[in-house]
Amino acid sequence: MSHMDHMLISPDDEAGVVALAACTSHIFPMALKAAIQLDLFEIVGGAHGDGLSSLEIASQLPTNVDRTAVVLDSLLRLLITRSLLTCSILKLANGSIERRYRLAPAGRFFVGDENGSSLVPYFAHVSRDELVQQISFKDAVLKGGKVFEEVEGNSFYGSMLSDPEFGMIFDNAMGAHSTMIMKKVIKIYDGFEGLSSLVDVGGGNGTVLDGIVSNYPSIRAINFDLPHVVQNAPSYKGIEHIGGDMFLEVPKGDAILLKFVLHNWGDEQCTKLLKNCYKALPNRGKVIVMECIMPNSPQTDVHAKYASEMDMAMVGLLEGKERTEDEFEAMAIDAGFSEFKVVCCVYGVWIMEFYKLV
């Protein structure tokens, strides 16, 4: 045990370090980007036994510079502070220590699964240099948000049409995120049982629906999105692609899925969409909403931090926002729904149900 372990840290010292860490918070995304580019998660994830030392990891990198292992050790230690890696300490015969690194549970999401899917494409989107360097949250505050449109001269979604590379990066990111979320949703959420039809509004290329229908093959599914989105969507068994405008009309179904749709839009537009969903549902039909839920009183836990960062992105770049449970319930009632339920949570994404009871 070191001398540091016996020392008491005063509240003032703790506050000072929190402030200093806030000043250097931009360093971690840079380190995570480097870790992904160097395939560190894949290398460490493939280790057996007590893990790998920085020297052993460095031997698998395309370099033979002497100080690589030293710099790499600092990078790996930083990843541990965000719970992406763990390490054990091995005391060597000469009295020095060696850190041996292993993948932490959170780090496994940056390693390709059996289908090659991971969060790497998601990080590639949210960390794009163009997005990070050109967007000013100061301007977002002073101008009421939507700074992406002012900087790019086009809306966020319009830019995907004019910039195919941006559109591809975004689609890959949403696909990676959806794969992560839906694999667990299928396991713990039973709200798809008994449905004869399901409409995914804003369903993109149909990946989410395909995962659902694969597990519930009796469901007749409709993937609904803008015409230019669905025209290139792959063909899936049991899924019909329909193009249209959700603010004008929504296809009919026993249930309607809205995954990360409402947070893109303001309250008025969300209510308009939900009213269209209400019209498309039969009695006792439901809208299944998947979104972050903001706490009424700001918190500091990891769920609240993630929701708040998503909220800042939505309110600053687009015209939407993340919402509290009370705000979701009020919006559901305003659109005509009689019953509101919060069912479960998957990786910070809450599943809610809005019921139509006539």
Joined together, the tokens standing for residue 276 give: 């269209």
Cα 87 to Cα 98: distance, rounded to the nearest angstrom: 10
Is residue 203 a contact partner of residue 242, using CB atoms and an 8 Å limit?
Answer: no
For residue 111, count CB atoms less than 10 angstroms from its CB and return exposed for 0-12, middle for 13-18, buried for 19 or more.
middle
Residue type, 98: E
C-alpha gyration radius of the chain? 23
- Integer Cα distance of 32 and 23 in angstroms: 17
Distance CA 47, CA 54 (A): 12
Alpha carbon of residue 99 to chain centroid: 31
Q: Are 270 and 321 in contact (CB under 8 A)?
A: no
Q: Which residues contact 189 (CB under 8 A, 6 or more apart)?
A: 343, 344, 346, 351
Residue of 36, 272, 23, 265 lying closest to 156 (CA atoms): 265
Is 303 catalytic? The answer is no
Q: Are 262 and 320 in contact (CB under 8 A)?
A: yes
Tell me which H or E stretch contains 101. strand 97-103
**Residue 144, both tokens:** 């009421």
Residue 2 φ/ψ, nearest 5 degrees: -85, 165
Residue showing tokens 């000043």: 23
* Chain centroid offset of residue 238 CA: 27
Size of the chain in residues: 358
Amino acid at 143: K
Which of 3, 125, 263, 303 is flagged as catalytic? 263
Q: Classify residue 209 by its DSSP letter.
A: H
Catalytic residue set: 263
